Amino acid sequence: MSEIDIRTVPFDSPVAQQLIRAVLADLAERYGGSGDETPVDPAEFVLPDGAFLVAHLDGAPVGCGGWRSHGEEGDTAELKRMYTAPEARGRGVARTVLAAVERSAHDHGRKRMILECGDQQPEAIAMYTAAGYQRIPNFGFYRDSPNCISFGRTL
């Protein structure tokens, strides 16, 4: 099995944008529309207030995920844009990205990670649950959506 290489990149970099387009296309296929209407500013993913990470296998970008600060206290991070390309699924990419995102957020003073996930993503729900995430009240852009499931975990 190839080693997964994780790199921090700017949110608006070409490699990040390529993967973000792919995740939005995947979400659009599952839910319709543009995939995710949540307002996202690339500046939110700049250290120390956030970061965006890309996973590479054999030199090719195959997954991503990022965090941005959430709330007034400054101790919570929100997970955004988690994705693994179909050809790399089942190889531990998502779990490796999730662990790296959590580590980055923790290293920058965040004590908790929260996220929104749609109910048509059983593989993501299973991964988050296995990683110790628990259901929390919905928040953010999709707080009133019946298809939204929110999770949180202490880092």
pLDDT in tens, the chain (155 residues): 579 999 999 999 999 999 999 999 998 898 888 777 888 999 999 999 999 999 999 999 999 999 999 998 889 999 999 999 999 999 999 999 999 999 999 999 999 999 999 999 999 999 999 999 999 999 988 899 999 999 999 99
State the CB neighbour count (10 A cutoff) for residue 96: 20
Is the CATH number of domain 4-154 3.20.20.100? no
Domain ranges of the chain: 4-154
- The predicted model scores a pTM of 0.94
Identify each DSSP E strand in the chain by its residue range. Answer: 4-8, 50-57, 60-70, 76-84, 112-118, 134-136, 148-154
